[in-house]
Amino acid sequence: MKILLLGGTKDSTNIIEFIKKSYDAYILTTTTTEYGAKLARQGGSDDTIARPLPKDEIIKIIRDNSFDILIDATHPFAKHITQTSASIAKELKIPYVRFERPTTDLKNIDTSHIHYVDSFDDAGKLISERFNEGNVLHFAGANTMEDILKYVSAERFYPRILKVESSLEKCEKLNIDPSHIIPMKGAASLEENIDLIERYDASAIITKESGEIGGVVEKIQAANEKNIAVIMIQRPKIDELNKNDVVSNLDELDIKLKKLFLKIDINAETGI
């Protein structure tokens, strides 16, 4: 079976490893960065494309290569690509699975330092109004910095990002001092987050509600320990998604894939 996987996340690497171990499948993984493609190849992806793809190019790739299944394992905040991939699957009548990591379980966590907002623009406004002293640690990716910096001085702003060319160019364009850039390699531990808060004299952390795999719990615990604010951007709602297409763990994915693979095999045997 041939699978087109929209990836670039830790989830997508886990999915590749699981599918290659459990199924006879060819996987082409698309990511927006070469770093993401490298992780996909290490996970066992047969091939990768390391750049953003417009809708018409994704359609062409699926048609030209006769892919059997489209799996969207992009970030929970990559709303546009999820909307696009769902519409492509519907248009091409190809089986579609959205891997949506579960939200963070905060039942046993002190949430008193969390301030929820719906957008990065709102996050910037909140910081300018309520947390205008001390520095700001931005743990939400290079593509979201500009909205914050409409309201927060670059002198107070310390982003933790992948040190790839596209992200560094964004920092330069936004006049972020290179000494403020914190290199990112995976999710930080509790101790690493505490160290960053102390080192940069932070009064607030900006993060997405990206689930436990994104290190959200460790960020909250570090903020609690140092008595600073966590500005949490809530996940976007995607109305185009059919809830029956969504899985949130590898067991659910396995059940979905078994059904899809069986259906594809039957269709192949009967010539449908």
Q: pLDDT value at position 74?
A: 92
Domain co-membership, 165 together with 97:
no
| Residue 168 resides in a domain | yes
Scanning the chain, the segments in alpha helix (DSSP H) are 10-22, 34-43, 55-65, 79-92, 120-130, 145-149, 165-173, 190-199, 216-226, 250-270
Q: pLDDT value at position 218?
A: 93
Q: pLDDT value at position 269?
A: 53
Domain co-membership, 201 together with 265:
no
Q: pLDDT value at position 211?
A: 72
Q: pLDDT value at position 266?
A: 54
CB 203 within 8 A of CB 133: yes
Number of domains in the chain: 2
Strand order in the sheet with 246-247: 47-50, 26-31, 2-6, 69-72, 96-99, 246-247
Q: pLDDT value at position 265?
A: 59
Return per-residue pLDDT of the chain as tens, 272 residues: 899 999 988 899 999 999 999 999 999 999 988 888 999 999 999 999 999 999 999 999 999 999 999 999 998 888 899 999 999 999 999 999 999 887 777 888 899 999 999 999 999 999 999 998 999 999 998 989 999 999 999 999 999 998 888 899 999 999 999 999 999 877 789 999 999 999 999 999 999 987 777 788 999 999 999 999 999 999 888 877 888 899 999 999 999 999 888 766 555 555 55
Domain co-membership, 146 together with 87:
no
Amino acid at 155: E
Q: pLDDT value at position 271?
A: 57
| Residue 179 resides in a domain | yes
Range of the domain at 222: 114-233
Q: pLDDT value at position 264?
A: 61
Interatomic CA distance for residues 231 and 117, integer angstroms: 7
| Predicted model pTM | 0.74
End-to-end CA gap in the chain: 16
Phi, psi of 42 (to 5 degrees): -65, -30
| Residue 107 resides in a domain | no
Task: Residue 160: give its domain's CATH number.
Answer: 3.40.50
Domain co-membership, 173 together with 261:
no
